[in-house]
Structure 1
Amino acid sequence: MSELYMVRHGQASFGEKNYDRLSPLGVIQAEIIANHWVRIGRKIDVVYVGSMKRQTGTADALMSACRDSRMSVPEIIPDESFDEYDSASVFEAQIPGMVEEDPSISEKLPDIFSNKRVFQLLFQDAMNRWVSGDYNVPGVVTWNGFKDRVLSGACRIMQAQGAKKTLAVFTSGGPISVVVQESLGLTDKSAMALSWQIMNASITRFKYNTKGLALAGFNDIMHLEMENDPRLLTYR
């Protein structure tokens, strides 16, 4: 069977004007993944990476580690199929309906970027509304549209690379949860709930062949835990 590793990017710059870049801690997390794979001799035939800077920055760490250790540098292929959904647009589109249903929410909005707990509660409610499909907003991607894009990309790369290959995809929590959902037959709501548990710089592993796709490992952070530094274990 072939293997597919899906790597969530290192910590991004939450709360800053430009979220889509690795934080200083995210850079360290990306380097730890890369050095771990080099140390254990993990051979990757092809790397696919979404177009977001936090994704490409995480993948670049692997390329650098391979070059520095004189290991074979895998082919890297950009693929926007593995971009995260536009969470800001989805969130903004859902907020008016949420405020209409619960006017007290408007009092919490000024604190969403300074209070992580407030942000997470409101963000989670907004994403659950979005996933339900009952509150779609014209011009904003639907959950089903996002899923179709990710799964089409995953199927395409697995078919293109053929048998006995090891692929890596550097992506985000949303696309990873979609592929896990497909492999386990989860509901949409369960897939979204699962996405909250996917940690920065974690590795989720699948095995696949022409008969299907199987989950072989989820949200692995052993490479981070081995550093014995709890600051490396982040969700956002």
Structure 2
Amino acid sequence: MGAIHLIRHGQASFGAADYDQLSSTGIEQGAVVGAELLRRKIRFTEGRTGSMARQRATAEIVLDWLGAGATAKEDPRWNEYDHVDIVARHGGGALQDANDPRGYQEVLDASLAAWVRAGDDGPCAETWPQFAERVRVALADLVAVLRKGESAVVFTSGGVIGTLAGHLLGDPAMGLLQLNRVTVNCGITKLVTGRGGVTLVSFNEHAHFEGRAARLLTYR
């Protein structure tokens, strides 16, 4: 069997002028998950990262922990959905407010649900079916290059991870709308590959943010 470890990026800069940057907490989270992967002594033969700044920065921090030879190829198919476009088209264009993150989350949740319902007829530049297919194919292409016993690491986002977990459980939309909401920054989701296909064996592992590191546990 092969294994794929999906890592959600560290905390981004919610409410800032440029959301797509790691916060100081996000940088610390990257170091913690890097140390966790090093502790597991997994030899990664393939690495991927989306092209978003927060994904690439998380990859750089983690790969620095894993040492020489650890690399991740940039592949924009692992990028998150465009939350700005989705909220603009389905949520009245609400802006992130650092003083009211819960209020923005409610708008985003409703907007994502409307995005899914709109299907191929949605007004966004990328529709829900296009997004779901994009990430499904990205995973399939990665699985295709893994040989028996090899492992891969992917630095991506909560919507991608939730959708893929849902896909493997038979309901991608459920994954986006429910699993996505509980993904932890720098949490680990593990998939295994074999003759029977791809199987979800763990979702959103975050024991590395317990104990002394509990202050670093975040969901956005």
**Above 0.5 in TM-score?**
yes
TM-superposed CA distance for 1:164, in Å, is: 1.8
| Gap runs ≥5 in structure 1 | 97-105
Q: Distance in 2 between matches of 1:169 and 1:140?
A: 25
CA root-mean-square deviation: 2.0
Alignment-derived partner of residue 218 in structure 2: 234
Q: Which amino acid aligns with 2:216?
A: L
The answer as to 2:72 corresponding to 1:76 is yes
Q: Distance in 1 between matches of 2:107 and 2:120?
A: 15
Counting only pairs closer than 5 Å after superposition, residues 1-236 of structure 1 correspond to structure 2 as 1-67=1-67, 72-96=68-92, 109=94, 112-133=97-118, 136-186=121-171, 188-226=173-211, 228-236=212-220
TM-superposed CA distance for 1:114, in Å, is: 2.9
| Gap runs ≥5 in structure 2 | none
Deviations 1:35-70, CA, capped at 9 Å, x for gaps: 122233222111111001111111111221133xxx
Greater displacement, 112-121 / 83-92: 112-121
Q: Distance in 2 between matches of 1:135 and 1:95?
A: 18
Secondary structure of 2:182's counterpart equals coil
Deviations 1:96-154, CA, capped at 9 Å, x for gaps: 4xxxxxxxxx9xx5784531121111111111111112694435211110010001010
Greater displacement, 8-17 / 114-123: 114-123
Structure 2-normalised TM-score? Answer: 0.92
Structure 1-normalised TM-score? Answer: 0.86
Secondary structure of 2:72's counterpart equals strand
Q: Distance in 2 between matches of 1:56 and 1:92?
A: 26
Q: Are the equivalent residues in 1 in contact too, given 2:14–2:96 (CA < 8 A)?
A: no
Q: Are the equivalent residues in 2 in contact too, given 1:131–1:189 (CA < 8 A)?
A: no
Q: Structure 1 segments of 4 or more deviating over 4 A? A: 109-113
Give the structure with higher Rg (CA).
1
TM-superposed CA distance for 1:76, in Å, is: 1.9
Q: Which amino acid aligns with 1:141?
A: E
Q: Distance in 2 between matches of 1:135 and 1:125?
A: 18
Greater displacement, 179-188 / 22-31: 179-188
Q: Distance in 2 between matches of 1:39 and 1:139?
A: 42
Q: Distance in 2 between matches of 1:134 and 1:28?
A: 38
Q: Are the equivalent residues in 2 in contact too, given 1:113–1:119 (CA < 8 A)?
A: no
Q: Are the equivalent residues in 1 in contact too, given 2:209–2:216 (CA < 8 A)?
A: yes
Secondary structure of 2:91's counterpart equals helix
